[in-house]
Amino acid sequence: MRRSVYLYLLFTLLLSASSYDADAQFLKKLFGGGKKTQKKTEPVKKKPSTVVKPKPKPVVKKPEPDYPPTEMKSKYRIDVFAHLYLDELVKDGKPVFKGKLPDKATAGLDFYEGVKLAADTLNKQGYNVAIYIHDIVNAQHTPATLIGNKSLDSSDLIIGAVNTSYVKVLADYAAKRNINFVSALSPSDAGVKNNPYFILLQPTLQSHCEWIMTAIARKHKNQTPLLLYRTNVPVDSNAFAYLNVTDGMANKMLCNTMPTKEKLKPYLDSTRNNLLIVSVLDAAFAESLLQQLNDWFPAYNFSIYGMPTWKSLSSLKKPEAYPNIALHITAAYYFDVSTGVGQAVANGYKRDVGGSKPSDMVFRGYETMYWYTYLLYKYGTIFNEKFSDNGAAPFTRFDVKLKKDKNDKLLYQENKHIILYRYQSSSFMVEQ
């Protein structure tokens, strides 16, 4: 199977060193008017008593944070971390899995494939970069090991498709070295503070919840939504708090257990569209709730705003599911395969790996590598104040901004770009 051959080649390359230069071992050489004169006039003489003292110039507050000068280079080094699990997938130089790979490995391998495809594209465009891939679950490739043996000291940028447990150590190291760390997978900030070199590409749950309330205020001005919330699950309790629904903004119903038909009915109306917000992240709860509403109130129409985790609901692909419900789900990304770039990525994935359609992680790896390499080459190692230059990002108009806490203390950089998927009867549309 082509996937097995691809896996074997990747494993062989990683065996050569704990990290490797792309142009030598695997990704090849990438990246490749005049002065105006002013007429002199005699000053106006004033009496001493009428002399006006010049006002002191206003103190211009220095922009925060205070970055060091950027460094322009002819070649940059980028270190990429991902969960590849190659020690488990390849034994004695041979792939262990000849069919479907374990779920825990697919996201990392797909992200890697996206990085590779971006590297191929950038190479053709004349960029020059050394890319080092690290299987973060391998003891020789963990951040602690590589930091300890100074293997990352020459890095100009770190990209990590890693889970939350690795975020803080990479973010702290990046701040110490004055280089950027882009967290491309986890929406968690792992408690990072006062670190302008940490870039959270996946918006936090708080940002999603704030976006939902702004959208509802804009799109449903004359409706009072019904908010279903839970307090017995910490992440759901956080989501409820982030929505910041004060008295009068919505009718609120505590749902630490599934609400009954009798409890819901007084808040619903068969003659109008019923607007609901559900601040519960658990997909099983969401499936059950949607099915109950469909069964109990088949003649009612609903517009429901759920959490970003709901995008994984299996029922969204079934045409017969919830025909009376329009489901709105926020997301950070939408990758349009019909575009020229989308087709190029899909074709490259099919060529390298086989299979009919690349996952979102392939596109995410491609876009992250491509856009940040572009920023490096245009602005140098310190490109932190140039995130508005997002036109080169192949799919997403990233909106990276400094995030501060309630006391106006700097936390980190966060991508605030969020889109809205609207699902109904297995079809969907995207609102940017």
Q: Tell me if 157 is assigned to some domain.
A: yes
Residue 327 and residue 350 in one domain: no
Structure confidence at residue 21 (pLDDT): 42
Give Cβ neighbours of residue 97 (< 8 Å, ≥ 6 apart).
Answer: 4, 7, 89
Q: E strands along 315-356, which residues?
A: 325-331
Q: Tell me if 286 is assigned to some domain.
A: yes
CA distances from 208 to 12, 146, 252, 419 (A): 41, 34, 19, 9
Structure confidence at residue 426 (pLDDT): 84
Mean pLDDT of 221-240: 96
Residue 184 and residue 281 in one domain: no
Other Cβ atoms less than 10 A from the Cβ of 418: the count is 20
CA distances from 309 to 29, 230, 333, 359 (A): 38, 16, 13, 16
Residue 174 and residue 286 in one domain: no
CATH code of the domain covering residue 263: 3.40.50.2300
Residue 427 and residue 284 in one domain: yes
pLDDT band, very low/low/confident/very high, at 157 (cuts 50, 70, 90): very high
Q: Whole-angstrom Cα distance, residue 367 to residue 372?
A: 8
CB-based contact 311:421 (threshold 8 Å) = yes
Residue 211 and residue 194 in one domain: no
Residue 174: is it exposed, middle or buried by C-beta count within 10 angstroms (0-12/13-18/19+)?
Answer: buried
Report the domain count for the chain: 2
Structure confidence at residue 184 (pLDDT): 97
Residue 130 and residue 258 in one domain: no
| CA quadruple 399, 401, 405, 408: dihedral sign | negative
CA distances from 349 to 67, 90, 114, 159 (A): 38, 21, 8, 21
Amino acid symbol at 283: A
The percent of residues above 90 in pLDDT, for the chain, comes to: 76
Structure confidence at residue 17 (pLDDT): 36
225 or 97: which leads in pLDDT: 225
Q: Whole-angstrom Cα distance, residue 4 to residue 354?
A: 10
344 or 21: which leads in pLDDT: 344
Mean pLDDT of 41-54: 49
Mean pLDDT of 230-246: 96
- Collapsing DSSP to helix, strand or coil, 15 comes out as helix
Q: Whole-angstrom Cα distance, residue 90 to residue 295?
A: 48
Other Cβ atoms less than 10 A from the Cβ of 322: the count is 22
Structure confidence at residue 209 (pLDDT): 98
Structure confidence at residue 321 (pLDDT): 86
Structure confidence at residue 54 (pLDDT): 61
Q: Tell me if 413 is assigned to some domain.
A: no
Angle CA 44–49–53, to nearest 5: 70
Give Cβ neighbours of residue 58 (< 8 Å, ≥ 6 apart).
Answer: none
